Structure 1
């Protein structure tokens, strides 16, 4: 898979904690997994059901590159969905735009539930532009084994730092590779799907730290490794 062209509401604390506990995903270094009772959220139930039906064997070599495309799921409009990336440079929390890009959010959550992103790196980081990751090949050429169409909206644009958007190699080739903007990049609008935003000062500070490790030009190899240690889903 290619990359973006450089030319270019609340619940009580206890309830929220219980939901967060049930939605910890993937297999982190300490062995934490999703709550055995499973999540109560309908969208997450649908994703988990698809995973069970697919019989995915994550112990198989190269399993990340031969996955089935998940169905589009319905998200609860009364809830807020977040995606948290714990990297070796800090944590970034994105508010997801599931109402605008349900397929992109659903696919990302599906991959997250599988532990797909855990251990992957940001292979391309360009100062003043963006950081790109999510490639199981680690070089910008890989994907999850399926592709899907973009979801575009005039209300979700590349208009600030911290925008979460999907990389592609042209129409209909969206997959697992995503990027995080470092600045306003309107040249990417209607070419790459915006499906989340990092807005907290803490998350934006981590994004700036990642940018500081970037290169000035392609291929954009970072000065030091930037690794996704774990990806988790939070619902509030």
Structure 2
């Protein structure tokens, strides 16, 4: 689901076969890839794992994510100390290239833009769930980055949204979505994405994440 209906389907590949790959670098679980056995750009990236990643971020460091999209770039400061599990998950998925090529599948200009679904229709995830981290003192306001969940506790995975307008403040009445960052530069790009023409909450034009690069300070 997407935040408005918390809801096309991305054309993945013509012939789909499942391959189990053992993820390296410390027990990240079995990675499942979708592949037709051919790729002009090397191995097909993993799109699903059977468990959430082990903690690998350094809480003494500050993390930022530079996100390049087909509409421009923006930078998110990640709240590693306030939401360590969620930030660790986001950093893992970003470093695995999970977000590259994914769409902003849901847009409500006065509320939010949402992405991170490998299916592209609001129903996908990374194959596992992560616990909520709802003790943050941060609030939902323009630029706030939060983890989407299904409405059930501890159901976040890969989808996230960025608050873009005054309606986002309504979430402060019952903060059920883990806040794990905020846009610190490039908010003009976020607003440009938010102003894209939509039909039934989905943008008419495909707006794609081209890359997510994690930087540490």
Provide the TM-score with structure 2 as the length reference.
0.78
1:204 corresponds to: 187
2:196 match: 213
Aligned residues: 189
Mean CA deviation greater in 129-138 or 57-66: 57-66
For 1:146-165, what aligned pairs fall within 5 Å after superposition? 146-158=128-140, 160-165=141-146
| Cα separation, 1, equivalents of 2:202 and 2:31 | 32
1:96 aligns with 2:81: no
Greater per-residue helix proportion: 1
Q: Which has the higher contact order (CA 8 A, sep 6+)?
A: 1
- Post-superposition CA distance 1:77-128 (Å, at most 9, x none): 2x32101111000011100000000011000111111110010110101111
**Structure 2: segments with no counterpart, 5+ residues:** 6-22, 37-44
8 Å contact from structure 2 (residues 82, 136) kept in 1: no
CA deviation digits over 1:32-78, x for unaligned, max 9? Answer: xxxxxxxxxxxxxxx97236x6464657469413443112345232x
4+ runs deviating over 3 angstroms: 3-6, 53-63
Contact 1:4 1:192 in 2 (8 A): no
The correspondence of residues 61-210 of structure 1 with structure 2, limited to 5 A, is 63-77=46-60, 79-158=61-140, 160-169=141-150, 170-184=152-166, 185-189=168-172, 190-200=175-185, 203-210=186-193
Match of 1:226 in 2: 207
Hey, which of these two has a bigger chunk of strand by percent?
2
Q: Using a 3 Å threshold, how does the CA distance of structure 1 residues 99 and 221 change in structure 2: closer, same or farther?
A: same
Structure 1 runs not aligned, ≥5 long: 7-46
TM-score w.r.t. length of structure 1: 0.72
Question: Which SS does the other structure have where 1:180 is aligned?
Answer: strand
**Aligned Cα root-mean-square deviation (Å):** 2.5
| 2:14 matched residue in structure 1 | none
